[in-house]
Amino acid sequence: MDTPAGPRIVRAGEGDVTGEPGLLDRYLLESAGSGGRLALVEHVLGPKSLAAPMHRHSREDEYTFVLAGTLGVIEDGIEITASPGDLITKLRGRWHTFWNAGDDELRVLEIIVPGGIETMFRRLAEPGGEYSPDTLPALAAEYGAEVDFEATMPLVERHGLVF
């Protein structure tokens, strides 16, 4: 990949944004811009919003840095919350999801290593990209991932989440 010399900057307010209020993704660095090594995506979730159904990846590790708000995470049955400045590690092969555990907007920086699965986020946000429990598993499989809606619903009910 041929890249220009010098530092690259994505200024505040720049970067492609997909989604809708309550669940937005801002793409700061995609796999194509890092030679596939990583992707950086800012997720912005409204109060009590679930980011995704329970899922696991076979190819990526995710590192979530909390910028603002309260992050709820479950991984392999263990639930935690995190605050601004905290970093959460979600390793490949482990069932997990995350949500806004507070009453204010949640902003997190998702570091995905290696990059690639961020293209699935884009597909989910496309107009007409409505996926259901019947169709999302096939899309996730294209990215080496699995989803578990049955395990998701008790979490939604327990925390009063929007999904």
Query: Nearest-CA neighbor of 69 among 30, 22, 26, 127?
Result: 22
Please state, in angstroms and rounded to a whole number, the distance separating the CA atoms of residues 69 and 84. Answer: 7
Query: Which residues are CB-neighbours of 56 under 8 A, at least 6 positions away?
Result: 92, 93, 94, 95, 96, 145, 146
User: Please, are residues 54 and 147 in contact by the beta-carbon 8 Å criterion?
Assistant: yes
User: Please, are residues 136 and 123 in contact by the beta-carbon 8 Å criterion?
Assistant: no
pLDDT tens digits along 107-154: 999 999 999 999 999 888 887 766 777 888 999 999 999 999 999 999
pTM of the model: 0.92
pLDDT tens digits along 19-63: 988 999 999 999 999 999 999 999 999 999 999 999 999 999 999
User: Please, are residues 31 and 116 in contact by the beta-carbon 8 Å criterion?
Assistant: yes
The DSSP bridge partners found for residue 73 are 80, 98
Please state, in angstroms and rounded to a whole number, the distance separating the CA atoms of residues 18 and 43. Answer: 10
Domain boundaries defined on the chain: 16-159
pLDDT tens digits along 64-119: 999 999 999 999 999 999 999 999 999 999 999 999 999 999 999 999 999 999 99
The DSSP bridge partners found for residue 87 are 65
Give the burial class of 50: count Cβ atoms within 10 A of its Cβ; 0-12 exposed, 13-18 middle, 19 or more buried.
Answer: buried
Where b means 16+ CB within 10 Å and e means fewer, 125-153 reads: eeeeeebeeeebbeebeebebebebeebe
Output the CATH code of domain 16-159. Answer: 2.60.120.10
If residue 80 lies in a helix (H) or strand (E), which one and from where to where?
Answer: strand 78-82
